[in-house]
C-alpha cells in the first residue's frame, strides 16, 4: 500500500477525497493536515475531523496548519460549500480532538518517518507544504511525490472556461497562496499537478445513474456523497464540484487515471489581472529555461476515475 498524507481544506470535494483514500485498499492514509482555503482553517479542521469520525478513522492524526497564506490575507471564496462547509449535510459535530502538532511539522515528521515512501496529496492552497519546505529544505529528497490540485495549464478550453480564482486565468488553490505555490513548484519536489484543464472537464461529471446508486446504498458515506451532488446541482453547478479533489487521490491509487505532460511553468505573483496564473513556456526559450519543470495533467481516463470513486463508495 502506498503511504500518503493528505493536506486539505474540506470543503465538499476534499471530504469525498478523504473518504476515497480511507476506502481504497491501494493507499494507506498516515496523516491529515488542514489549511485555510475554501474556509478558515478552524472550520476545515473541524470538517476533517467530522469526516474521519464518520469513517471510523480514529487512529489517523489530523493536525491544523496555516491559518493564512504565506504573505497575504485569505480571500473570500465565492463558491459556497454550505453553512457547515460540507453541503449542509448535517453530519454530527466531531468528538475527537486535533493532534497537538502544527500541520507543517506533522508533514516533516511523517516524511522523516517514511523516507522515500510518502506521497503528499495537497487539495488546498499550498501554504502548509511551503511552510514544511521552509522548516526542512531537505523535504524534496525525502518525499516520494507531491500530487496536488492546482493550476490551469492551457491544454484545452476548460483550463480557463471555469477559472476558479478571482480572475480570468487562475485556479483557486494557486490564486489563494501564489507565493506558496511558487515556492513548491521551485523546490525540486517531484510534482504531478492536476489543474482545471482536467478537473473541470465536462466528462468528469457523475452520471445520474451512479448518483442514484449512491442514494440507494446502505453505506452512509455513499448517501452523504449523493447529498453533496444534490447540494451543488441545486445551486446550479455541475457535479464535478464534488469530484475535483478526488482526482488527486485517484491518481495515486492508479496513476493511469491521469495523463501528464511535462511543462516548464512558474506562478505569477505580481500580476493583478493574472495573480496565481500558472504560466507555461511552451517555446522552451533559452531565456526562460530556469523555470521549474513539473508534470501537469493534460488528460484523464474519466471512466476509470468514475469506477474508482463509485466502487469505493459502494464497497
Please give the C-alpha separations between residue 112 and each of 109, 117, 141, in angstroms, as whole numbers: 5, 10, 10
Q: Exposed, middle or buried: residue 289 (CB in 10 Å: 0-12, 13-18, 19+)?
A: exposed
- Of the ranges 25-33, 85-93, 99-107, 237-245, which one interacts with Ca ion (CB under 5 A)? 237-245
Minimum distance of Ca ion from residue 194's CB (angstroms)? 11
Nearer to Ca ion, 37 or 217 (CB): 37
Nearer to Ca ion, 183 or 244 (CB): 244
Q: How many residues bind Ca ion (CB under 5 A)?
A: 6
Minimum distance of Ca ion from residue 112's CB (angstroms)? 26
Nearer to Ca ion, 242 or 257 (CB): 242
- Of the ranges 175-183, 239-247, 253-261, 287-295, which one interacts with Ca ion (CB under 5 A)? 239-247
| Beta strand spans in 109-247 (E) | 119-122, 145-149, 191-194
The length of the chain in residues reads 315
User: What own/partner pairs with CB < 8 Å and gap ≥ 24 does 93-97 have?
Assistant: 93/46, 93/50, 94/46, 94/49, 94/50, 94/52, 94/53, 95/53, 96/49, 96/52, 96/53, 96/58, 97/49
Place of cell 505569477: 268
Q: Which of 124, 178, 195, 276 binds Ca ion (CB under 5 A)?
A: 124
Q: Does 123 bind Ca ion (CB under 5 A)?
A: yes
Nearer to Ca ion, 124 or 151 (CB): 124
Neighbours of 94 (CB within 10 A): 18
Q: Does 85 bind Ca ion (CB under 5 A)?
A: no
Nearer to Ca ion, 123 or 152 (CB): 123
Nearer to Ca ion, 172 or 302 (CB): 172
Residues from 6 through 25 that contact Ca ion (CB under 5 A): 9, 11, 14
* Positions that interact with Ca ion (CB under 5 A): 9, 11, 14, 123-124, 245
Amino acid at each position: 500500500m502506498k503511504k500518503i498524507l493528505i493536506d486539505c481544506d474540506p470543503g465538499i470535494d476534499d471530504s469525498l477525497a478523504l473518504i476515497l483514500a480511507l476506502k481504497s485498499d491501494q493507499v494507506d492514509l498516515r496523516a491529515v493536515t488542514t489549511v485555510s482555503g475554501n474556509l478558515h482553517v478552524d472550520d476545515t479542521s473541524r470538517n476533517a475531523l467530522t469526516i474521519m469520525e464518520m469513517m471510523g478513522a480514529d487512529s489517523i492524526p489530523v493536525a491544523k496548519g496555516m491559518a493564512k497564506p504565506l504573505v497575504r490575507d485569505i480571500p473570500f471564496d465565492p463558491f459556497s460549500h454550505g453553512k457547515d462547509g460540507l453541503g449542509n449535510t448535517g453530519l454530527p459535530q466531531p468528538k475527537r480532538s486535533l493532534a497537538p502538532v502544527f500541520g507543517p511539522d506533522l508533514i516533516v515528521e511523517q516524511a522523516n518517518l517514511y523516507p522515500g515512501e510518502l506521497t503528499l496529496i495537497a487539495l488546498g492552497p499550498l501554504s502548509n507544504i511551503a511552510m514544511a519546505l521552509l522548516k526542512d529544505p531537505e523535504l524534496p529528497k525525502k518525499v516520494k511525490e507531491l500530487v496536488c490540485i492546482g493550476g490551469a495549464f492551457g491544454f484545452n478550453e476548460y483550463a480557463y472556461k471555469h477559472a476558479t480564482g478571482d480572475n480570468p486565468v487562475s485556479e483557486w488553490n494557486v490564486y489563494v497562496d501564489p507565493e506558496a505555490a511558487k515556492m513548491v513548484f521551485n523546490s525540486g519536489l517531484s510534482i504531478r499537478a492536476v489543474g482545471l484543464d482536467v478537473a473541470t472537464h465536462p466528462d468528469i461529471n457523475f452520471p445520474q445513474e451512479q448518483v442514484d446508486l449512491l442514494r440507494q446504498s446502505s453505506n452512509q458515506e455513499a448517501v452523504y456523497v449523493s447529498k453533496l451532488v444534490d447540494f451543488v446541482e441545486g445551486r446550479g453547478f455541475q457535479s464535478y464540484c464534488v469530484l475535483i479533489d478526488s482526482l488527486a487521490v485517484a491518481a495515486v491509487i492508479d496513476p493511469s487515471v491521469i495523463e501528464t505532460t511535462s511543462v516548464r511553468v512558474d506562478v505569477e505573483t505580481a500580476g493583478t489581472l493574472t495573480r496565481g496564473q500558472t504560466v507555461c513556456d511552451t517555446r522552451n526559450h533559452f531565456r526562460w529555461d530556469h523555470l521549474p519543470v513539473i508534470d501537469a495533467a493534460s488528460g484523464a481516463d474519466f471512466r476509470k476515475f468514475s469506477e474508482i470513486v463509485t466502487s469505493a463508495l459502494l464497497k
